[in-house]
Amino acid sequence: MSQALNIRRVAGALGAEISGVDLSRPLSDDTVAGIRRALVEHQVIFFRDQDLTPAQQTAFGARFGPLNVHPFVQGMAGQPEVMEIIKEPSDRVNFGGGWHSDMSFLERPSIGSILYAIEIPEFGGDTLFASQAAAFEALSPGLQKTLEGLNAVHSASREYSSQGHSAQKRGSMQVAEADGYVGEFVHPMVLVHPETGRKALYVNPAFTLRIEGWKTRESKALLDFLFEHSRYEAFTCRFQWREGSVAFWDNRSVWHFALNDYPGQRRHMRRVTVDPWPVGAVAAKTDEAVA
C-alpha cells in the first residue's frame, strides 16, 4: 500500500523535508518511486521521527541500489555496509568535517548516502549541503563549456593515508589507512544527471587532486576557484538534526559538510551508501519497467 508523501521545500537551491512515511516498514513500489522523484528533484531530502534498526535502514537503502562497503572504514559486525559514525566527547576532529562528495575516489562512485541520527549533541552538529547543479548553472557559458571538456583525478590518498589530514584516527571508529593500495580515478568535471539531464560540477576539496593532463600547480588555480564558488551560501541548505532524523542526499550533485561545533559532546550517526546499479542490471530493470 502506498504511503502519502508530504513534501516541503526547505531552501531555494536544494532540500526538502518529507513527512507521511514510516521508513521502517516495507514500502510499496509507488512510495519508493515518489521518494526517488523527490530526491532527484530536491537533491537532498529529510525525514523526521524515524525509528530504524540497522537492518531496516539497509532494507530502505537497498530499494535504490546495491549498498556500498566502504574500503577504509570498518562497518558493523555482520553488516559491513552499515557505517557507524561516532564522535566521542574526547574527540577533537570529526568524520566528514569538510566539504566533499562521498566516495568520488572510487572508479564507480556512489549515487547517494542515507544518514540516520541515533544520538545528537545538545547543541551544534548540523550538516550543510551545497547544490553543485546550482553552482554549475551560476557559471558563465564560457566557463561551463570549458569545464565540460575537462576531467579530474580523484583519490582517497589525502584523506585516508597516514600523512593525510583526515579525522579518522579515533578509538570509536576503525579506519584502515590507504597507504600503498589507494587508486586514482578520472571523472568528468561536469556530470550529467542520468535521470534529469541536469548538469552539475563534480569536483570536491577532499578527493579531487588535479585536472587530468594538467600539472598540480596548474590545476590549483581553477580548482580553488571552483571550490570557493561551489559553497556560496545561496547554493546551500542547513539541516538541524534530531534523534530519529534521516537525510538522503544525491552524491552526483551535492556536497555536504558535517559541522564540528559541539565540543565535549557525543554524536552517533549511522550511514548506508547506495552504489549505482551494474550496467546490465540497469538494462534489465528498464526492460521490466517497459514491459
List residues with catalytic annotation.
Answer: 100, 102, 256, 271
CB-based contact 270:173 (threshold 8 Å): no
Q: How far apart are the first and last CA of the chain?
A: 22
Separation between Cα atoms, residue 204 and residue 184, nearest integer Å: 14
Grid cell 579506519 in the structure block, residue? 175
Q: How many CB atoms lie within 10 A of CB 21?
A: 19
One-letter amino acid for residue 108 of the chain? R
One-letter amino acid for residue 121 of the chain? P
In this structure, what are the phi and psi dihedrals at residue 235, rounded to the nearest 5 degrees? -95, 5
Which stretches of 157-210 are DSSP H helices? 157-160
CB-based contact 132:257 (threshold 8 Å): no
Helices (H) and strands (E) in the chain, counts: 7, 15
In this structure, what are the phi and psi dihedrals at residue 21, rounded to the nearest 5 degrees? -140, 140
Separation between Cα atoms, residue 46 and residue 104, nearest integer Å: 22
Q: Which residues of 193-210 are buried (b: 16+ CB within 10 A; e: fewer)?
A: beeeebbbbbbbbbbbbb
Which stretches of 63-140 are DSSP H helices? 132-137
Radius of gyration of the chain measured on its C-alpha atoms: 19
